[in-house]
Amino acid sequence: MEYAGLVRSFFSEDFQEDVSILKYVAESDKANIPYCLCDRCKKPIKRVMYVVQSDETDIELAYLGAECIKYVK
């Protein structure tokens, strides 16, 4: 997975703190190899992964797939 950029930063009601959503994209030759499991639905993440990261501590709070990132508040 390669870093593709910052999606947005906001106060998350789910995590009760300021967070940043970071986007990672799989390299084209490794696009069908699962990187990890989504923390919300437990499906394998293959192509696009979103990382929810704490703005205060820079700790990664969740790894989410393209479908599940829509539900973060």
What residues does each domain of the chain span? Answer: 2-71
73 sits in which H/E element: none
Question: Could you report the per-residue pLDDT of 24-50, keeping only the tens digit for each?
Answer: 998 877 667 888 999 999 999 989 999
Question: Could you report the per-residue pLDDT of 47-63, keeping only the tens digit for each?
Answer: 999 999 999 999 999 99
Q: Which residues pair with 22 in a beta bridge?
A: 6, 51
The number of residues in the chain equals 73
DSSP-derived 3-state class of residue 68: helix
